[in-house]
Structure 1
């Protein structure tokens, strides 16, 4: 697979992943987490705000692989 095709596929996959992740994290954050204490809210939003980096980094590394 050429680098151009990998980058196109990776970009589309990254956009779809980010939209789905954002929707799920926001739904959880506005649901049960909104009723939790301040520390639990902080912990959730800290983890949810950083957790997307791992799959995105793996996808970007795949996209940047040399031919």
Structure 2
């Protein structure tokens, strides 16, 4: 697969990841942290706000792989 196609697919995947992740993280927070202390909210959103970086890094690593030499 050419690098340009991987980059296009990767950008679409990262956008989808961020949108879906934000919706899920917010839904889980609303369902479970309703009456929790503000510090718990802060820790939850700090943790979930950084957690999406791990799958995004994997997608970026895949996007930046060099093309295989043609035989």
Using structure 2 for the length normalisation, give the TM-score: 0.84
* Alignment match, 1:65: 65
> Between Structure 1 and Structure 2, how many residues are aligned?
67
**Unmatched 5+ stretches in structure 1:** none
* Alignment match, 1:38: 38
**Unmatched 5+ stretches in structure 2:** none
Q: In terms of Rg, which structure is larger?
A: 2
Using structure 1 for the length normalisation, give the TM-score: 0.88
4+ residue runs over 3 A deviation: none
The separation in 1 between residues aligned to 2:40 and 2:10, in whole angstroms, is 34
Q: Higher helix share goes to which structure?
A: 1
Q: Give the root-mean-square deviation of aligned CA atoms.
A: 1.2
* Alignment match, 1:26: 26
* Alignment match, 1:3: 3
The separation in 2 between residues aligned to 1:7 and 1:32, in whole angstroms, is 37
